[in-house]
Amino acid sequence: MKEKLPNSTLILVFGILSIIGCCCYGLLGIIFGILAIVLANKAKELYYANPELYMGYENVKTGRILGIIGLILSVLSFVSGLIFFFTAGGLDAMWEMQREIYGNGF
């Protein structure tokens, strides 16, 4: 009987979280993307050593792809946030822009 690859579901969840995390200025997406890719590479090595022993490789492949996409999007989001931060005049300018957009309730 085949057993499930270790962390296959976790890799898929981390891949999904890496895409969602790109909306949080990219920092969370970078962390989850790296975790998904590293864990997927370990699971991939384990699977290729004995493919007849394991199931769940589809989750690993999907999680790895999502992790790569999430990492790319998160790095772009993080870099654009840094560029905006330094070109807009720092934290005070960002807070002022937030107040203009959302009003005084922010």
- What's the whole-model pTM score? 0.81
What is the reported pLDDT for 78? 93
Work out whether the CA dihedral 62, 63, 68, 74 comes out positive or negative.
positive
pLDDT score, position 105:
59
pLDDT for the residue 89: 75
Q: Which two tokens stand for residue 85?
A: 């931060």
pLDDT tens digits, 57-106: 999 999 999 999 999 999 999 998 888 878 877 777 777 877 888 876 55
Please give the pLDDT value at position 104.
65
